[in-house]
Structure 1
Amino acid sequence: MKNRVNRRKLAGDDMNVLGKNRNNAGGARLSRSRGTCGARLAVVALAGAMVLAACGKPPNLINRYVLNYPPPAVAKLTPLDTAIKVATFSADQTINRPEMIYKVNPYKTGVYQYNRWRTDPAYLATDYLTRDFRDSGLFKAVYSSDNSGKARFHLEGGVVDFQENDEPPPWHAALTLNITLLDTDQENVADKVMFQRNYHAQEVMPARTPEGLAEAMSTAMGQVSKKIVHDVYQAIKQRLSAAKRSPEE
């Protein structure tokens, strides 16, 4: 009797296990089915979102601006038999961005969301100043920082201000560059730094628009560039003349 009971119990246990396995298998199929349906619904939802985006409002266009001014005219000066290298400028973090910045008051600034410079102000100032030095014809060669050419005199700089200033009126473009001229032949720091100066210009905007800002900033850059080229030329000329008069020479 005990053997019969045990056999029946074992048979019942086997049936229970078999039933559980079926239930588990069915659950697995159900889970996979639900997962497949969920994935299909996600794909359909994504496709629908893409269709709505394509049929919706087009994205806003970004207007990009550059400086536009003729290279400054220089006086009839004797070209120097030396080269100069213009390093890539740095920029204050408050203006180190391509978006056009306007200053409402001494404590508040904003940006034109859909109007930007073609590149950051530091690169704009570097590129145009390098162009103006080359166009002046006052130096044997003018190299940019990525050029392997060697030059005794190096020009370094930073953009301190490059923005629209609305206060006090009228609205105007404000530009400030910090310039350092170095003589790399000198080992003493005091002799190596020939000068360090700030160059500032303000120009009234012809219109209260981003394009008006670009036009005014171009005029300001032309004014500052002319002063920098002249001062650098005179400083290098004096340094070379002093070297010729030196007894060691």
Structure 2
Amino acid sequence: MRADVAVAGSGAAQISALLMRLEEERGGQVVEPVFDFSEPGCDLSAWGALDDVVMGGVSQGQISLVNRNQLDQQAVFAGVVSTDNSGGFSSVRTQNFEPPFNFSGWMGLRLEVKGDGHRYKFILRNNAGWDSPAYIYGFDTVADEWISVDVPFAELVPTFRARSVPDASPYESAKTVSFQLMLSKFEYDKRLNPRFTAGPFKLAIKRIGLYRVQQDEAILQA
């Protein structure tokens, strides 16, 4: 994994990550961190806020690192989402990865998150354009509980400006240009988010990583 994104760590945090990987391998899967927000020296400079203010709304969100240099260090996406002025979403998005990530051979992304009961979106793109097609995956959170969320590349829904594009090409994992996390009133095609409520929100993220079935496991199942 590229060193500018997968931040190397040491000490207890590194041991914890190693134990987590060994546990996943025993379960027949391999997990490789992409963003590990629990590691010492973690940098959030690749991430920035993108809210409905671009459409005249008033929602506000940000991402920050909390419990810095402690065992429970994590990133937190938090703020207030409002439906005033026809708004209703808050998000954080990475800068474009240059060059794009090649995730060939991996099944998808795994998020380790602690939410507030809201339903969020994880969004990926194959195109560097700011207003480009987006591939989305909605996931529910459990209030104040850490959970693992798998985002299978094969289940990403292609959309453009919040409308699904049924005839779009499947997501190209070999050309991953950016990540985005979003809380929105809508899912896509004007479908309402069933868990949306305006007001404060908070999503803690420990890691974003890749997962796949172990090679020997895949051979046995073939």
Instruction: Give the TM-score normalised by the residue count of structure 1.
Output: 0.25
Higher strand share: 2
Q: Which has the higher contact order (CA 8 A, sep 6+)?
A: 2
Instruction: Give the TM-score normalised by the residue count of structure 2.
Output: 0.27
Higher helix share: 1
